[in-house]
Amino acid sequence: MAIFTAAEIVEQKTAWKKALAAVSTGQTYTVGKRQFTRADLPEIRRTLEWLDEQASLTAAAAAGPLIVQGRVRR
């Protein structure tokens, strides 16, 4: 069962893609005397892959239930 709607997944993927773009320019940056570190690249990639899986689950759920027919062997 998907935990996000299709629109929420698109919104999340957009945000994580922006994070990926930000990390690709450098993982640390300085503001004044403070130094900040962005999230690590592997974590961002894992999250994007997970969101793709969630999108697949959402699409499958929207298609309706899976009906399997069979016969009982005697």
Tokens representing 60 are 């499958």
Residue 65 in domain: no
Residue 7 in domain: no
> Domain limits at 55?
19-60
Mind listing the pLDDT tens digit for each residue in 16-60? 999 898 888 887 888 999 988 877 888 999 999 999 999 988 877
With beta carbons less than 8 A apart as the criterion, state whether 15 and 44 touch. no
Is the predicted pLDDT of residue 2 greater than 80, yes or no?
no
- What's the structural domain count of the chain? 1
Q: Does the reported pTM lie above 0.75? A: no
User: Taking phi first (over 0 means left), then psi (-120 to 50 degrees means alpha), and beta for anything else, what does residue 40 get?
Assistant: beta
